[in-house]
Amino acid sequence: MTAPPRRENSPSSTSTPGTTRSLDAAKASHALLPQWVRRRALVVDCATDRERYAPDEPVRLRVTVRNRLPIPLRLRTTAPVPWTWAVDGVDRASTVDTLPAESGTFDVARRGRTTFHTRWFQRFRVAADEWIAADPGEHTLTARLLVDDSRLAASTTIRIGNE
């Protein structure tokens, strides 16, 4: 008696396992999770190395974005850069520069943190070649992700002066 013929798609002991395909989890989260869920999973923190600064002393700003979900996230941004900062409501301490209107994306690893750094030299740009010194007193530094959700921002207050 002969064995029945084999069908091409039937399992056999001699078949080799198929290769697994890699899945881009950030793309998957972008496709499967609603944008409001992805935004709620992120926390933005803004901090400086001190609360008081002498006049003309650079202020170091650290911005941390934390993903609370166990999957990587991707968000669409309203500019090619993922974040911006402001001093007393003036974006990047400049009344001259504006961000490009192009969009981009921002990825955060699962339960990951992304940290950005910048320095403010206690000056406001008022013309292409003119900067003015910040007044002594309190100033609010704000950092925000460039997405359509104003809640993805954080602020800190510093004091300039020798008092």
Instruction: From residue 128, give the alpha-carbon distance in Å to each of 67, 78, 88, 95, 142.
Output: 37, 24, 20, 9, 23
Tell me the two tokens of residue 113.
Answer: 């943190």
Give the separation between CA 92 and CA 119, rounded to whole angstroms: 10
CATH (domain of 86): 2.60.40.10
Give the residue from 63, 65, 64, 69 showing the smallest Cα distance to 111.
69
- The average pLDDT across 137-156 equals 94
* Residue 51 CB-density burial (10 A; 0-12 exposed, 13-18 middle, 19+ buried): exposed
Confidence of residue 7 (pLDDT cuts 50, 70, 90): very low
Question: Rounded distance, CA 70 to CA 112, Å?
Answer: 9
In a domain, 5, yes or no: no
Q: What is the pLDDT of residue 97?
A: 80
Domain with 99 in it? 25-160
CA distances to 39, 72, 75, 146 from 150, rounded to whole Å, are: 10, 21, 14, 9
pLDDT of residue 117: 97
Q: Kindly state whether residue 4 falls inside one of the protein's structural domains.
A: no
For residue 36, being part of any structural domain is answered with yes
d(C-alpha 159, C-alpha 93), whole Å: 16
Q: pLDDT tens digit string along 40-88?
A: 899 999 999 999 999 999 999 999 999 999 999 988 899 999 999 999 9
AA letter at 162: N
Q: What distance in Å separates the CA atoms of residue 120 and residue 84, rounded to the nearest whole number?
A: 13
| Number of Cβ atoms within 10 Å of the Cβ of 39 | 17
Enter the pTM of the model. Answer: 0.78
In a domain, 13, yes or no: no
Residue 65 lies in a domain: yes
Q: Does residue 19 carry a pLDDT above 60?
A: no
Range list of H helices, the chain: 25-32, 35-40
Range name among 64-78, 95-109, 128-142 with the lowest pLDDT average: 95-109
- What is the average per-residue pLDDT within 106-120? 95
Query: Residue 11's pLDDT band (boundaries 50, 70, 90)?
Result: very low
In a domain, 10, yes or no: no
Determine what percent of the chain is predicted with pLDDT higher than 90.
61
User: How many domains does the chain fold into?
Assistant: 1
15 assigned to some structural domain? no
Question: For residue 1, is pLDDT > 60?
Answer: no
Kindly state whether residue 3 falls inside one of the protein's structural domains.
no
